[in-house]
């Protein structure tokens, strides 16, 4: 177990280091149309690198269940993409160009199933950090919770359903930022459609959501089985544990910047809104704590200030009475004599 986890850690970190080295060059070259002729196929290589990283991550985290999940994502996504390219269902009519190579049986590029292998765990990584029902939907609070009785099973089902829906939505939102770049900048595929959202039919996004929901549900089921049967915990750093989340953010920022530079403002704004929402969602507990701490620190100061103001008011009344006595000394003397 230890040797296996050490090996996978080393390979994942090596691939991530290569990705970080390529990342700024890829963003700059694509955004400013500076990709050389020999580099047009590098987009596919980068997709396969990221997909491989996520496949290894699933295997590291969930053992053979994770490996099976990675294989199912690749096979099912290829089958759906092949059906889509040959029949137009469910995405719509489109065709892949010769930019992404190699192709499987001359049809779907090999990089496309790896792209799904990247997006599905990445979207689940985002969802694991979302705060629903007052707590994060993470493996520790969701999959490892022991649901006893009918009520417990119902709550577990509802949480799983929400996880599938939210993760599928974030996967689809990422594709909303990818499509304008893939179609109009990288020329990876061509749609037989005009108008709408950068010539992309809405059926594509509906199919993306359904496919993502299917794949997320499969991984969620395998993840629960893996965690239930896992006898010993892997000592994995939080940084590596949240690698899918970081991959989602890296890709979101990449396509947001490319869309912005390319003048595809609507797509850039959508990417910015997604990023802004995620930052707010994750920082909201910290902001609330900061505000509450400020209120807590301010309350003693307010009470002290109120005490000082009350004392100052008493002093003011006393001074006014003294001045009034000074203005009427005779009355004061008569009062004293009568006493």
Cα angle 223, 229, 232; round to 5: 105
Given a cut of 50, is residue 156 above it in pLDDT? yes
In angstroms, the CA 155 to CA 147 distance is 8
Q: What pLDDT was estimated at residue 310?
A: 59
Residue 257 burial by Cβ neighbours in a 10 Å radius (0-12, 13-18, 19+):
middle
How many CB atoms sit inside 10 A of residue 164's CB?
22
pLDDT reported for residue 292: 63
Q: Are 70 and 124 in contact (CB under 8 A)?
A: no
- Determine contact, residues 222/62, Cβ cutoff 8 Å: yes
Residues 117, 55 contacting (CB under 8 angstroms):
yes
pLDDT of residue 287: 60
Report the percentage of the chain scoring pLDDT > 90: 63
pLDDT (tens digit, 9 = 90+) per residue, 94-152? 999 999 999 998 899 999 999 999 999 999 999 998 755 444 455 544 444 444 556 66
Residue 326 pLDDT exceeds 90: no
CA 213 to chain centre: 16
**Mean confidence (pLDDT) of the chain:** 85
pLDDT for position 336: 43
Q: Report which of residues 85 and 238 the model is more confident about.
A: 85
Assigned token pair, 175: 């594709």
- Which parts of the chain are beta strand (E)? 94-96, 103-104, 108-109, 131-132, 135-136, 189-191
Residue 24: is its pLDDT beyond 80?
Answer: yes
Check residue 130 and give its pLDDT: 79
Both tokens assigned to 155: 């709550």
Place of tokens 């065709």: 95
CA distance 249 to 194: 30
- Helix, strand, coil share (%) of the chain residues, nearest 5: 75, 5, 20
Q: Once rounded to an integer, what is the mean pLDDT over residues 255-268?
A: 98
- Looking at residue 196, its pLDDT comes to 85
Per-residue pLDDT reduced to its tens digit, 170-199: 999 999 999 999 999 999 999 998 888 999
Q: What is the distance between the alpha carbons of residues 252 and 260, in angstroms, rounded to a whole number? A: 12
CB 150 within 8 A of CB 228: no
Residue ranges covered by each domain of the chain: 2-263, 291-338
pLDDT at 23 over 60: yes
262-275 mean pLDDT: 98
Please determine, for residue 327, whether its predicted confidence score (pLDDT) is greater than 70: no
């Amino acid at each position: 177990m230890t040797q296996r986890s050490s090996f996978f850690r080393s390979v994942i970190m090596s691939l991530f280091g290569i990705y970080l080295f390529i990342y700024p060059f890829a963003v700059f070259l694509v955004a400013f149309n500076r990709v050389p002729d020999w580099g047009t196929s590098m987009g596919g290589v980068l997709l396969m690198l990221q997909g491989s990283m996520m496949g290894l991550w699933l295997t590291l985290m969930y053992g053979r269940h994770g490996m099976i999940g990675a294989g199912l994502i690749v096979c099912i996504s290829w089958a759906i993409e092949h059906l889509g390219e040959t029949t137009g269902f469910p995405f719509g009519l489109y065709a892949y160009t010769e930019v992404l190579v190699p192709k499987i049986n001359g049809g779907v590029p090999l990089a496309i199933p790896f792209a799904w292998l990247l997006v599905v765990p990445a979207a689940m990584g985002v969802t694991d950090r979302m705060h629903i029902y007052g707590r994060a939907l993470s493996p520790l609070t969701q999959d490892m919770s022991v649901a006893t009785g009918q009520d417990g099973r119902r709550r577990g089902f509802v949480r799983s359903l929400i996880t599938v829906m939210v993760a599928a939505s974030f996967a689809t939102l990422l594709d909303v930022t990818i499509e304008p770049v893939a179609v109009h900048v990288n020329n990876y595929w061509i749609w037989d459609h005009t108008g709408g959202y950068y010539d992309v039919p809405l059926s594509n996004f509906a199919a993306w959501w359904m496919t993502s929901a299917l794949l997320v549900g499969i991984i969620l089921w395998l993840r629960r089985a893996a965690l239930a049967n896992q006898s010993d915990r892997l000592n994995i750093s939080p940084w590596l544990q949240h690698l899918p989340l970081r991959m989602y953010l890296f890709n979101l920022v990449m396509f947001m910047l490319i869309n912005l530079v390319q003048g595809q403002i609507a797509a850039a704004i959508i990417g910015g809104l997604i990023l802004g929402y995620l930052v707010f969602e994750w920082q909201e507990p910290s902001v609330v704590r900061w505000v509450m701490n400020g209120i807590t620190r301010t309350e003693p100061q307010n009470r002290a200030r109120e005490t000082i103001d009350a004392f100052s008011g008493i002093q003011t009344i006393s001074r006014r009475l003294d001045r009034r006595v000074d203005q009427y000394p005779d009355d004061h003397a008569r009062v004293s004599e009568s006493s």
